[in-house]
């Protein structure tokens, strides 16, 4: 992948950067600025090298219309507090305001364009429409740096088409994400444990199919575990179950056997009569789930088992919470797995939006993990072994 160094001397150059600033908002207040912070190393590097930096990003889903509630104004303000440079916000994306501000930008300054998704061409399925928008954006700058990892799986103007209009390279965040996630998909140091959970097995079929070919151990938790238990002939009561995936899952169990992959399922489960924060939790053996209860977490024996398996691994990839971690009574499994990754010496990668959110919600120190991906969908597609359009376009 082309890096910033390949772009040559940046002094005085206008560099257009795609960042992921899609932060959660409460009114005009940013409730988690993690994504802005993750974008800083690249922006700071470009500023330090004397570039004029023009940033494009999206916020929410304005669906191709100018909607003030999706303005990047709160992001511009927060970015100005975090970065050591003046930050200006254009009133549009490629209109009069953006053109004028871009033309007057000084070395070491940042101009943020308005929400790129205010323009319907950004996400258009029509190649010609996206290309036209890309040409307008390209007129603002000399070079392009792609650093919005959360959107690299999208074939959109600010991610894909623009990279073909200007000399382009990957930013530091995209580079770090790809390097870390490919350690979990290409040549993992062994033993390699993959921990998968989350809600539905049907969301993760591609991930299971791909990682089953690479892993030494596959530990299953979360809602998807019940389709696996059912496929083994157990009753799962009111737990999340996808009947239509039973055959596929039986196929995975068979494949794991053939490949000698240690497939580990919960041996006990925390059940409750309903899906609710204050539902009464009870621990039962995995083969004794009552017909009128649902499994909302892996049980304490399973926790112990999963922790010991993780401790034996040299590489661990984790995607998908082990239970309904949003409810404290059902967060134990997720806490145990996150703790094992955090405390262990293995190279540990966390992918998936909710898994990363769980690490933060449960108050783990993010620096104790080797890598926590900033891109939910993009990290899943990498774990599936897919080629991402926004990455392929940065390759020679
Ligand atoms: P990620 O975003 O990390 O890929 P998913 O989106 O697949 O993860 O799944 C996250 C959701 O799965 C969480 O909201 C969690 O509450 C839910 N979940 C975990 N275990 C269960 C379960 N046993 N029953 C129902 N939902 C579950
Ligand atoms: Mg999710």
200 is known as an active-site residue? yes
* Position in ligand 1 atom list of the atom nearest CA 204: 7
351 lines ligand 1 (CB under 6 A): no
- pTM as predicted: 0.92
- Residue pLDDT, tens place only, 334-362: 999 999 999 999 999 999 989 999 999 99
- Ligand 2 centre to CA of 351 (Å) is 10
For 58, the token pair is: 């999206």
List of residues 6+ apart from 188 with CB closer than 8 A: 214, 314, 315, 317, 347
Q: Which residues pair with 283 in a beta bridge?
A: 270
* Any ligand 1 atom below 6 A from CB of 324: yes
Task: Please give the chain's pLDDT, 396 residues, in tens.
Answer: 999 999 999 999 999 999 999 999 999 899 989 899 999 999 999 999 999 999 999 999 999 999 999 999 999 999 999 998 999 999 999 999 999 999 999 999 999 999 999 999 999 999 999 999 999 999 999 999 999 999 999 999 999 999 999 999 999 999 999 999 998 889 899 999 999 999 999 999 999 999 999 999 999 999 999 999 999 999 999 999 999 999 999 999 999 999 999 999 999 999 999 999 999 999 999 999 999 999 999 999 999 999 999 999 999 999 999 999 999 999 999 999 999 999 999 999 999 989 999 999 999 999 999 999 999 899 999 999 999 999 999 998
Any idea what DSSP says for residue 155? -
Q: How far is CA 259 from CA 159, 202, 212, 237, in A?
A: 38, 22, 8, 31
Listed residue (288, 301, 281) closest to 221, CA to CA: 301
Count CB neighbours of 275 within 10 A: 13
343 CA to centre of ligand 1 in angstroms: 23
Tell me what pLDDT residue 396 has: 87
Per annotation, catalytic residue among 13, 35, 130, 309: 35
């Amino acid at each position: 992948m082309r890096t910033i160094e390949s772009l040559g001397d940046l002094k005085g150059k206008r560099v257009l950067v795609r960042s992921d600033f899609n932060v959660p908002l409460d009114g005009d207040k940013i409730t988690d600025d993690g994504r802005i912070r993750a974008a800083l190393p690249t922006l700071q590097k470009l500023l330090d090298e004397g570039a004029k930096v023009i940033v494009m990003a999206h916020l929410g889903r304005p669906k191709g219309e100018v909607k003030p509630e999706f303005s990047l104004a709160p992001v511009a303000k927060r970015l100005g507090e975090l970065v050591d440079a003046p930050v200006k916000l254009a009133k549009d994306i490629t209109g009069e305001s953006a053109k004028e501000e871009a033309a007057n930008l000084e070395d070491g300054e940042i101009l943020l364009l308005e929400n790129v998704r205010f323009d319907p061409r950004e996400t258009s399925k029509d190649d010609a429409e996206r290309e036209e928008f890309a040409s307008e954006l390209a007129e603002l700058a000399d070079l392009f740096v792609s650093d919005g990892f959360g959107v690299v799986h999208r074939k959109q103007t600010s991610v894909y088409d623009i990279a073909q209009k200007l000399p382009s390279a990957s930013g530091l965040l995209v580079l770090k994400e790809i390097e870390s996630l490919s350690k979990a998909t290409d040549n993992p140091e062994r033993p390699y444990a993959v921990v998968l959970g989350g809600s539905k097995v049907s969301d993760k079929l591609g991930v299971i199919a791909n990682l089953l070919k690479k892993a030494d151990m596959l530990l299953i938790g979360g809602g998807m575990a019940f389709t696996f238990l059912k496929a083994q002939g157990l009753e799962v009561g009111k737990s999340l179950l996808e009947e239509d995936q039973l055959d596929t899952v039986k196929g995975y169990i068979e494949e794991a056997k053939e490949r000698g992959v240690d497939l580990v399922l919960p041996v006990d489960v925390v059940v409750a009569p309903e899906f609710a924060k204050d539902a009464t939790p009870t621990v039962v053996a995995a083969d004794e789930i009552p017909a009128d209860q649902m499994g909302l977490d892996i049980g304490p024996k399973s926790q112990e088992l999963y922790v010991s398996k993780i401790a034996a691994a040299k590489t661990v990839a984790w995607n998908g919470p082990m239970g309904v971690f949003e409810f404290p009574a059902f967060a134990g499994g997720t806490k145990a797995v996150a703790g094992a990754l955090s405390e262990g010496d293995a190279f540990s990668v966390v992918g998936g939006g909710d898994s990363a959110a769980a690490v933060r919600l449960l108050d783990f120190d993010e620096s104790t993990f080797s890598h926590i991906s900033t891109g939910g969908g993009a990290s899943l597609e990498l774990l599936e072994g897919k080629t991402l359009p926004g990455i392929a376009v940065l390759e020679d």
